[in-house]
Structure 1
């Protein structure tokens, strides 16, 4: 890992320009073929848990998936989709109760590193991996050749924790960019489309959102919820691990001093603006308490704008998922950046409660290599949920809404995905271009190990639940509440946590020289 990042530091942009998000697997590379070795062993039912709104036709698609999958690896799959608004509570309970699960979606933003620390996921590249007294060995090496052949090494190396891969990242964009998705049709109607498209920072929001409020009182100008807030959209911070654990450096600079984000002028500025917007009535009043996530709110048709992490075609993807074609557009407010969190933005992990980790690994490998399976589980059945326009372009049917999760970025290799007829046909080429000229975090490749300060992390996590969302949505006055919060954070051990993160980062950087 150290050697890779030392070399990559000077040539990453060139590498990305050539390889993008990794070389796409050969078209339909394993579709229709059965691996006799993979199909060996006892039949097994895999449980797949990922973040998506439950679909009307999930059962029908599951049956189609199993008809295709079973001859390949002698396994079927039970699909469990969990809404964004319920994800944290339900999956935290699953992990705490040791519920049997095989493949589960995770990401740095929703506790990947923290759950690794809890022993929730198996180390896939551990030569000595043993489960229930049986030595299994290196799952990634033995059963993940399609993954290692097609996935940019930066994904696997960047997502490691202490040299171990506890999941397989989705083959997708590497860069990250904060911004907003907004209703283009409403902006056109109000005559403010050009102004919205030219937003440069959160400072430009207030005047535009006030127009929406005045002219369309039934529309929420800016919807915030579940930690998806304007300050987090505008930041350029590298958390170097779980975003729930304080301690950041700026991705856009060279400075590697770890800071408490709550002390930075950027944070104070953004939460002050959020409060101003809340008092102006342009943010939903229940932002701190609602269980309706930002995507569901956008889908309702009653929202003008939501914060989002952007990539090429993000607005188009959401428009297709929510039957809002032609109604959405996106605008960026930050630079394109690359940090460890981008390599861990979407991961399929194998739960340590899995009854057959080998089958689980084979299944993930197929999602990265088998075009038929990948598109079936992401888009449903051809002739029912979509029809083909050409080999790689599809269009919707009257049944598309019955199975349209909009979560292809969670499952496998996006370069195998079909492109909707309403999307840019050059979508995947633009993904590669998006990953060029990227600003790299000085801490690229580093992930903070929380175990030395686990007590402090747990105490601070409880405080974060109490304060973060209310402050960052403008639901409370930051001038009064932020000092109180910071005092409690200090009492809970924030200084010790920051010092430990600094110690680990310094040690990591020293090894890169």
Structure 2
């Protein structure tokens, strides 16, 4: 068992960990063959000596994670000379933990990454390998099944530093809400088309159910999230300068000069002052799905796709009680083509095995479903081919992270979902507006000091503004002044220069 797994099992009981390590040390000295470790590259199928691939991703740790890992490793025997060690990191800790792991050059193999999650910044740090040769040598299944638009739209300076998940290409934002409560109160959700239309709905909720929070928000999960605002940051969303994904204009603007952004701030502030939102939105770290599961929240913001409400209903225990409401136009941008990827760390000792494992996630339905749903007969039961149902132990392993791993079209669907879900995904892509910035990713190297200064300012102001927690007229001018002092205008100028060159070269 890896020391990482021992640490997780014995957390809070250091004397137990010490005893186990002493016993293991004694065994190793008496049998040197056993100390040939999971770091080796011995023959295929020898699970005890195979190389251990560390899969780093963001999400909550699962109760039965080690049990599922063991089942996956049994399955990999004879197929790949590797074992898998899943290392989930909570969303609230993700950025700081990953930054530390990258800076310390910790040995990692496969890392979840996305353009909205500082992918370009981490590429510039040398965190990921360029994958062209690895894809040709060990990723043929990926190349044969993945729409070429995914790889073309996720390149950075002509290279791929992550393998996109095979999923929907289009994107749409809105809310997931309690359909049972809406029915009970006779709320006309069909009349809701924009975030401004939600005011009357939230007022009814607050009046009829004073103990229910009409809308839950937290950092990054607001009306100004890129998936609702339809903002194209032309790469990393933490770097200022954007266009509108659903528009035609190619002028790069800072957020404070974008009319939609400022208007959304004012609507959010209005809802905050009327008590339609959780008043601790600026500090609360509870994930929005966990807040919904608690039972006292009517709606959360969400990036939507066909069947998203049904997926969340299973995770939250609210089957039959949720629905989704789209609040913007469907779009396709680099945020979607590179919105969920698996990168290979530059510290990996066996990038060939890492790519081979990613390739299996794109081609091997059994492995893919085990990673996403756990063990058949334990965490789910098979109803018929491609259809599964919950068991008493489903909640013990339910990462709800299908969109992160490999090929979603290999996933089974729950019996509470639309059995034609994947056909709906294909139809969802039709008629989507293509962003003028599709395929462009800003290289922040020329302005990296300014980017660092602006990110620091954003940490001070942005969350408070986006959650409506502060007075817009008073705080927004302060924010703008600090951004200009930090060099935002230099960043916008450089991003526009690069974007113009990209548009000219197409």
TM-score, normalisation: structure 2: 0.89
Residue 26 of structure 2 aligns with which residue?
Answer: none
Q: For residues 347 and 140 of structure 1, what CA distance do their matches in structure 2 show?
A: 14
Q: For residues 477 and 212 of structure 1, what CA distance do their matches in structure 2 show?
A: 24
Contact 1:446-1:505 within 8 A present in 2 as well: yes
Q: Does the residue aligned with 1:71 lie in a helix, a strand or coil?
A: coil
| CA deviation map 1:196-224 (0-9, x unaligned) | 24311011111211211222122111111
Q: For residues 344 and 38 of structure 1, what CA distance do their matches in structure 2 show?
A: 33
Q: For residues 374 and 228 of structure 1, what CA distance do their matches in structure 2 show?
A: 28
Q: Does the residue aligned with 1:179 lie in a helix, a strand or coil?
A: strand
Residue 143 of structure 2 aligns with which residue?
Answer: 148
Residue 302 of structure 1 aligns with which residue?
Answer: 296
Residues 34-433 of structure 1: pairs in structure 2 closer than 5 A: 43-125=50-132, 138-192=133-187, 195-232=188-225, 233-433=227-427
TM-align CA RMSD: 1.6
| CA deviation map 1:77-100 (0-9, x unaligned) | 111122222222222222222222
| Shift, 1:38, TM fit | 7.6
Higher mean C-alpha displacement, 422-431 vs 213-222: 213-222
Contact 2:242-2:253 within 8 A present in 1 as well: yes
| Shift, 1:40, TM fit | 10
| Shift, 1:189, TM fit | 1.8
Q: For residues 38 and 210 of structure 1, what CA distance do their matches in structure 2 show?
A: 62
Show structure 1 runs of 5+ residues with no match: 1-35, 126-137
Show structure 2 runs of 5+ residues with no match: 1-41
Q: For residues 119 and 155 of structure 2, what CA distance do their matches in structure 1 show?
A: 11
| Shift, 1:170, TM fit | 0.3
Specify whether residues 189 and 422 from structure 1 end up closer, same or farther in structure 2 by C-alpha distance, changes over 3 A only.
same
Contact 2:44-2:50 within 8 A present in 1 as well: no
Contact 2:44-2:77 within 8 A present in 1 as well: no
Contact 1:227-1:468 within 8 A present in 2 as well: no
Residue 5 of structure 1 aligns with which residue?
Answer: none
Contact 2:146-2:166 within 8 A present in 1 as well: yes
Q: Which has the higher contact order (CA 8 A, sep 6+)?
A: 1
Q: For residues 77 and 60 of structure 1, what CA distance do their matches in structure 2 show?
A: 12
Residue 17 of structure 1 aligns with which residue?
Answer: none
| Shift, 1:37, TM fit | 10
Q: For residues 292 and 130 of structure 2, what CA distance do their matches in structure 1 show?
A: 37
Q: Does the residue aligned with 2:79 lie in a helix, a strand or coil?
A: helix
| Shift, 1:305, TM fit | 0.5
| CA deviation map 1:104-138 (0-9, x unaligned) | 1111121111111111111111xxxxxxxxxxxx1
Residues 468-507 of structure 1: pairs in structure 2 closer than 5 A: 468-507=462-501
Specify whether residues 61 and 40 from structure 1 end up closer, same or farther in structure 2 by C-alpha distance, changes over 3 A only.
closer
| Shift, 1:324, TM fit | 1.4
Q: Does the residue aligned with 1:382 lie in a helix, a strand or coil?
A: coil
Contact 1:197-1:330 within 8 A present in 2 as well: no
Q: Does the residue aligned with 1:105 lie in a helix, a strand or coil?
A: strand
State the structure with more CA Rg: 2
| CA deviation map 1:353-393 (0-9, x unaligned) | 21211111111010000111000111011111111111110
TM-score, normalisation: structure 1: 0.88
| CA deviation map 1:298-333 (0-9, x unaligned) | 122221111111100011111112221111110001
Q: For residues 463 and 77 of structure 2, what CA distance do their matches in structure 1 show?
A: 44
Contact 2:272-2:279 within 8 A present in 1 as well: yes
| Shift, 1:39, TM fit | 6.6
